[in-house]
Structure 1
Amino acid sequence: MRKIWLLGGVAALVAVPVIAAEMAPGKTIVRSEVEGKVKEHFAEVDANHDGAITPEEMRAMREHKRADSLDAHFKRLDTDGNGSISRAEFNAGHAAMGPMVEPPMAHGGEGHGPGPGGPMGGMHGMGGMMMFQQADANKDGKVTLAEATAGALRLFDMVDTNKDGSVTPDERRGFRDQMRAQWKGKRGG
């Protein structure tokens, strides 16, 4: 499971309902859980505890989580724990991942360009900064807990199509499919 939740900083704060499936597959999410997750993650990203998250704090959190992820990956491959990866360890680690699959873009599909499925969309790169700017309601270059919560709940309400205060896996799937269709329409197909 990819850890998109922690990689996106504030972007993740406002996208909680969409990515909740990665945190709790098959689980219905209620508004209070979203508020709790936003508060929890906000405290983690707000490194100087001043009540606001800056783009620099987002980048620092992303870099920290990326370093942790790379370290964990290295440790998984370094099965004998000697601090280096032999060809045999490398091959075994990649064999355990299953057959290599070409990225969807190799066949004209989606998934690696700008937009919800690729590294430039969603929680990564430019998409993360766009979400930061959207969450920054007063445009002061930082996002407060109130702004992050408001953004997350706005998105939650969009995904909660029957307005019952909870988002089901079916509602998340429907919202994701709707966003993909809009994205495909914007890029011409």
Structure 2
Amino acid sequence: MKNMITGRCARYAVTTLSLALALPMAAQAAEQLTQADTNKDGKISRAEAKAAQSRSFERLDSNGNGQLDRQEFDKGQPGLPANADAQDKQRRQSIITGWFDNIDSNGDGKISESEYQQAVAPYFDRMDSNGDGSISSDELKKAFHNARPGSQQSGSN
């Protein structure tokens, strides 16, 4: 019985942490995508999404050297609630380290703008469910409705 309760508590903690990371990421993504609609036609074209990602990369690149180091990338990711414990902080760091390593496709310890763009491209394709080359507000809502907590693989600010 004690192990069953401990297991439930552990699953609850992981779910809570996943939500703590996923909800701010979804809100950030929604804000970025709506800001990406620069021609205000109610859709985000691939070109608009790419331009928004370039702006995001520039904001993250605080030293302006055209590459993101781990510290710059980390600062651009969602934080944790004020009451997060050491285990939550360690898990967040592990997740963000995994994201960084995944995006850093050449393994040089830095993320170039090209690597950043390549990492984000599949998300655009997934959200463009009808394949017309743009993301409508309905497709955006559907993508966030279908997102599972903890399923986001990379984030940006």
Q: TM-score range by the shorter chain?
A: 0.5 to 0.7
From 14, 25, 31, give the equivalent of 1:22. 31
SS across alignment from 1:29:
strand
SS across alignment from 1:152:
helix
SS across alignment from 1:149:
helix
- Once residues 168 and 21 of structure 1 are traced to their aligned partners in structure 2, the CA distance between those partners, rounded to angstroms, is 12
- Once residues 21 and 60 of structure 1 are traced to their aligned partners in structure 2, the CA distance between those partners, rounded to angstroms, is 19
Residue correspondence of structure 1 range 81-160 to structure 2 within 5 A: 126-160=94-128
- Once residues 53 and 131 of structure 2 are traced to their aligned partners in structure 1, the CA distance between those partners, rounded to angstroms, is 20
- Once residues 110 and 94 of structure 2 are traced to their aligned partners in structure 1, the CA distance between those partners, rounded to angstroms, is 16
Q: Partner of 2:62 in structure 1?
A: 47
Amino acid at match of 2:63: N
Name whichever of 164-173 and 132-141 sits farther off.
132-141
- Once residues 111 and 149 of structure 2 are traced to their aligned partners in structure 1, the CA distance between those partners, rounded to angstroms, is 29
SS across alignment from 1:141:
coil
Deviation at 1:125, TM superposition (A): 5.1
TM-score normalised over the length of structure 1: 0.47
Contact 1:21/1:169 (<8 A) preserved? no
Q: Partner of 1:174 in structure 2?
A: 142
Q: Unpaired segments of 5 or more residues in structure 2? A: 1-20, 152-157
- Once residues 22 and 165 of structure 1 are traced to their aligned partners in structure 2, the CA distance between those partners, rounded to angstroms, is 20
Contact 2:74/2:96 (<8 A) preserved? no
The sequence identity of aligned pairs, in percent, is 25
Amino acid at match of 2:138: D
Amino acid at match of 2:49: V
Cα–Cα, structure 1 residues 182 and 42, in superposed 2: closer, same or farther, change >3 Å? closer
Cα–Cα, structure 1 residues 21 and 38, in superposed 2: closer, same or farther, change >3 Å? same
Deviation at 1:131, TM superposition (A): 2.6
Residue correspondence of structure 1 range 41-80 to structure 2 within 5 A: 41-60=56-75
SS across alignment from 2:120:
helix
Contact 2:57/2:113 (<8 A) preserved? yes
Deviation at 1:60, TM superposition (A): 4.8
